[in-house]
Amino acid sequence: MRTESFHAEDLARMLRRTQIATMPELKQALGTAVDVTVFRKLKQLAYRTSYSHRGSYYTLEETARFDENGLWSFRSVCFSRQGTLLDTAAAFVDKSTEGYFVEELDHLLHVGTKDPLLRLVRQGRIARESVSGLYLYCSADPGLRQRQLLARRRLQAEPSLAGSVAEQETVPDEVKAAIVLFLSTLNEKQRRLYAGLESLKFGYGGDQRIAGFLGLDAHTVGKGRRQLLAQDLDLERIRKAGAGRKPAEKKRPKSSPGSKN
């Protein structure tokens, strides 16, 4: 009887050590030059394939620490509970309350999603509608799609800083002063989230336009927008307990040399 030359546990040990690996690295660990042999052994393990980097990275199920959106990344390599980029994009669009523009989903998934979204539309798995001159990707279910469109149009119709910046080259000085005063009452995270919200209302190019108006870095605005899209709204105090300036103590006046105790 022929003894087994390759063992799945060799792959498991290697992946536990490196967390992620490519096919050439897995073949080297297993001691084979054949892809099929590696796949046959991977099937004996609970594993995941990346949705970024053309699915060329592998990890163990036990290693992936998925967040509330079902995403996990390691060294810029992204994995999803949904599996492939196509399945991940479809799931995100379906569960969205307001649909997604391409740029929004790009930032959320950290990869380009235009081509996968177009493939999903052609396959009938999602739909798209024109909103403010851009395609909004929505659920294929007619009822859910109408709710997403209504929510998106309601969001964009709200009076906002984004609307003011988009509709006119200059904002009145008194309005700008009021906004600056308002921002001064917010902490760093609140300012970032506010800027991100206004960028979402603006649509494509919003990060740069809002950043320029508020005097913030465009990356800061983008981070706030991504946190909102990911529903990362943990508004705990930025300062830890005990941080900050200590309360002033009242000082007793020094007694004069001739005074008595």
DSSP string, the chain: -PPP---HHHHHHHHHHHS-EEHHHHHHHHT-S-HHHHHHHHTTS-EEE-SSGGG-EEEETTT----TTSEEEETTEEEETT-SHHHHHHHHHHH-SS-B-HHHHHHHHTS--HHHHHHHHHTTSEEEEEETTEEEEEESSHHHHHHHHHHHHHHHHS--HHHHHHH-S---HHHHHHHHHHHHTS-HHHHHHHHHHHHHHH-TTHHHHHHHHHT--HHHHHHHHHHHHTT------SSPTT-SPPPPPPPPPPPPTT---
Find how far residue 53's CA is from the centre of its chain: 17
Domain assignment present for 246? no
Q: What percent of the chain has a predicted confidence (pLDDT) above 90?
A: 50
Residue 131, beta-bridge partner list:
134
Mean pLDDT, rounded, for 185-213:
80
Q: Which residues contact 189 (CB under 8 A, 6 or more apart)?
A: 235, 238
Please give the pLDDT value at position 77: 97
Q: Which domain holds residue 149?
A: 84-157
Ranked by mean pLDDT, the top range of 86-100, 186-200, 201-215 is: 86-100
Of residues 248 and 121, more confidently modeled: 121
Please give the pLDDT value at position 55: 96
Please give the pLDDT value at position 23: 96
Please give the pLDDT value at position 115: 96
Of residues 83 and 184, more confidently modeled: 83
Mean pLDDT, rounded, for 172-198:
80
* The last residue of a domain, from among 122, 140, 157: 157
Q: State the pLDDT confidence band at 42, using cuts at 50, 70 and 90.
A: very high
Looking at the predicted structure, is the pLDDT value of residue 118 above 90? yes
Distance CA 56, CA 213 (A): 41
Do the bridges between strand 134-139 and strand 126-131 make them parallel or antiparallel, or are there none, so unpaired? antiparallel
Same domain, 152 and 167: no
Mean pLDDT, rounded, for 62-66:
95
* Residue with the two structure tokens 């706030």: 224
Please give the pLDDT value at position 70: 94
Same domain, 215 and 183: yes
Cβ atoms of 64 and 48 within 8 Å: the answer is yes
Of residues 198 and 121, more confidently modeled: 121
* The last residue of a domain, from among 140, 157, 174: 157
Same domain, 97 and 153: yes
Please give the pLDDT value at position 253: 52
Q: State the pLDDT confidence band at 166, using cuts at 50, 70 and 90.
A: very low
Of residues 261 and 121, more confidently modeled: 121
Picking from 43-52, 82-91, 127-136, 140-149, which range would have the lowest pLDDT averaged per residue?
A: 127-136
Q: Which residues contact 149 (CB under 8 A, 6 or more apart)?
A: 99, 129, 131, 136, 138
Q: State the pLDDT confidence band at 210, using cuts at 50, 70 and 90.
A: confident
Picking from 2-6, 101-105, 141-145, 188-192, which range would have the lowest pLDDT averaged per residue?
A: 2-6
Looking at the predicted structure, is the pLDDT value of residue 206 above 80? no
Mean pLDDT, rounded, for 189-197:
86
Distance CA 260, CA 253 (A): 14
Looking at the predicted structure, is the pLDDT value of residue 33 above 70? yes
What total number of domains does the chain contain?
3
Please give the pLDDT value at position 76: 94
Same domain, 90 and 61: no
Please give the pLDDT value at position 3: 47
Domain assignment present for 255? no
Domain assignment present for 172? yes
